[in-house]
Amino acid sequence: MDQSNAARKPEPDLASTKRDPEEESVHRALEGFYRTGKPPWDTGVTPPELVALVEGRGALPPGRALELGCGTGTNAVYLARHGWEVTAVDLIGRAVDQAGKKAAAAGAAVRFLHGDATRLDELDVPGPFDLFFDLSCYCGIPLHRRDAYAAGLTHRADPGARLLMFGYGPEPLGNPIPKITSWAAGVTADELRARFPGWELLDVTPGTNPVPTFWFTLRRNA
Ligand SMILES: C[S@@+](CC[C@H](N)C(=O)[O-])C[C@H]1O[C@@H](n2cnc3c(N)ncnc32)[C@H](O)[C@@H]1O
């Protein structure tokens, strides 16, 4: 499952027997996006909210970062190029392959892992980490897997660690794929407060998208 910028041997996907029907639907939908070329979210641009955290006034000192749902690796590469020791995980093998190539082309050392952010214990990611970054991964995770995601991060967080997360809010126009109830639920501040005990929700800033989106910043209690 590990790919440190090197050509990756084809790996068996996470055993589909572990996935329930909703997880299977999410997996199929995501694979479809990557199979048909460039997914709509893959802008190749690092968002200003992450740039501010890394380079802005009061920037975090570089440390160890874990990106959840890294896609094709734009932001993992950005963090590595700014002195962070980066591990990045994605559920879809094609995304991880592209991420590895992007990092190699940029000369950035990133540890990419093909795996499930809700099952970090199955990957070699002991941590601890100072920063977790999630750009639109958590908000697509089936609701019943989200406690496992939160526990995985909490277990690997240094005291004071940050979690910077971008997510879609509850979908006001209904659900594009009704089988995936999480995609209509999105993510809210109240949900994060409930699912991340031991963390403080420091900031919620609305995104600029035409539908409700949010940037959340959480800090692990000391
Ligand atoms: C909307 S895309 C965003 C990708 C990337 N963060 C970006 O902005 O380009 C969500 C990403 O999360 C990944 N993902 C979804 N569920 C995941 C899970 N349980 N574990 C790891 N990655 C997951 C998807 O494969 C996809 O690459």
Q: What is the pLDDT of residue 19?
A: 86
Q: What is the pLDDT of residue 36?
A: 85
> E strands along 62-179, which residues?
64-68, 85-90, 110-114, 129-135, 157-168
3-state SS, residue 185: helix
pLDDT bracket for residue 18 (50, 70, 90): confident
Q: In testing the pocket of ligand 1, which one of 137, 141, 149 has its CB within 8 Å of the most ligand atoms?
A: 137
Q: Is the CB of 142 under 6 A from ligand 1?
A: no
* CA of residue 136 to ligand 1 center, whole Å: 7
Task: Over range 112-138, report the average pLDDT.
Answer: 97
Q: Is the CB of 35 under 6 A from ligand 1?
A: no
Is a pLDDT exceeding 70 seen at residue 126?
yes
Task: Over range 139-146, report the average pLDDT.
Answer: 95
Q: Position of tokens 């690092």?
A: 46
pLDDT digits (tens, 9 = 90+) for 52-111: 999 999 899 999 999 999 999 999 999 999 999 999 999 999 999 999 999 999 999 999
Structure tokens at 44: 């190749």
Task: Over range 134-146, report the average pLDDT.
Answer: 96
Residue-range domains of the chain with CATH? 46-220 (3.40.50.150)
Shortest CA distance to 46 belongs to which of 107, 100, 102, 123? 102
Strand partners, 206: 214
Asked whether 114 and 120 are in contact (CB, 8 A), the reply is no
* CA of residue 208 to ligand 1 center, whole Å: 20
| Ligand 1 atom 15 nearest Cα | 137
Task: Over range 114-118, report the average pLDDT.
Answer: 97
Question: For residue 134, which atom of ligand 1 is closest to its CA?
Answer: 6
Q: What is the pLDDT of residue 13?
A: 59
Q: Is the CB of 113 under 6 A from ligand 1?
A: no
pLDDT bracket for residue 9 (50, 70, 90): very low
pLDDT digits (tens, 9 = 90+) for 202-211: 999 999 988 8
pLDDT digits (tens, 9 = 90+) for 145-197: 999 999 999 999 999 999 999 999 987 656 667 777 888 889 999 999 999 99
Is a pLDDT exceeding 60 seen at residue 20?
yes
Q: How far apart are CA 142 and CA 29, in angstroms?
A: 13
pTM over 0.85: yes
